[in-house]
Amino acid sequence: MKVAVIGAGSFGTALALILNRNGVPLCLWGHDPLQAEKIRTTRENAKYLPEFPIPPEIEVTSDLNQALSRSDIGLLVVPSHAFKQILSQMAQSAGASSLKGLISATKGIERDTGRRMSELMSATFPGLPVAALSGPTLAVELAKGVPTAVVVASPDQAFAELCQKLFACSRFRTYWSTDIVGVELGGALKNVIALASGICDGLGFGDNSKAALMTRGLAEICRLATACGAQRDTLTGLSGMGDLIVTCMSQKSRNRSLGERIGKGETLEAILKEMTMVAEGVKTSESASLLAVEKRIETPIILSVYNILYKGQNVVESMGALLSRDMKNE
């Protein structure tokens, strides 16, 4: 089966490399014609994933119709704020007529509606099976072939198992699930907790602090996601706890790194101006806070991150407020 990888950032490029190693024919699409042409001619994504050769078997293009033409699966790896727009462009492309399913590897929530990426895919391409891929997946490590494990979820079990076979290899162990709600929300919400983890690092807090924050953060993820229909076991698995651990702990994590800079006193505006890659947790902190209000779920860590980023709340006062909340049972 041919796959159209929609999104030539670091994660999209890393997933393209994995599929290529599995012998899957594919086309890598990037929205910037100059960037796509540079990748095609130099066979390297120097901007987002340098020093990893792009094999000649991987087509590279900025022409969406060309990318989708004769492709069986569309794998979307684009920022959540651009997801709906890209889907709309895909729907208008004649090449999309060959698609037999869609996979999202985007870890975010639509800001205004609180919809997950799979819901956006189903709304744009009704009738097509959809899936979500998530787990501890730092792009650089994927490109290096460092072993990890992920989960791919779809309400259509047959499609989930098909996607599993596309990605599974000795260094990329792939599980399947039908709990797409849990897989998507686990992957999206952990980015907000990773921002809080980074803020702790920036403030000079220790490992005890981070362990406590991650544990209580996971509790918030579980409360909010299960209120949306997720299964609790999913959130203690690869797309929940697994992704949470690596994103909160790794020096390679862009969400944790952004949070650290916030904790050291830098402004969000200044940090975002310097970043070439997207830290999904920034926008997700807002959409998750709105979703928590809608579902009447208590999420103090997520709300604190939102207030720090968007309301100008002092980070020290915010952390103090979390610690001084009313005593309760765990």
Q: Which residues are catalytic?
A: 190
Q: Report the sign of the C-alpha dihedral through residues 10, 12, 16, 22, in that order.
A: positive
Closest of 48, 47, 44, 7 to residue 29, by C-alpha: 7
Q: How far is the C-alpha of 79 from the C-alpha of 277, rounded, in Å?
A: 9
Q: How far is the C-alpha of 110 from the C-alpha of 69, rounded, in Å?
A: 28
On the CB side of 113, CA atoms within 13 Å amount to 10
Neighbouring-strand partners of residue 76: 6, 104
Q: How far is the C-alpha of 20 from the C-alpha of 73, rounded, in Å?
A: 14
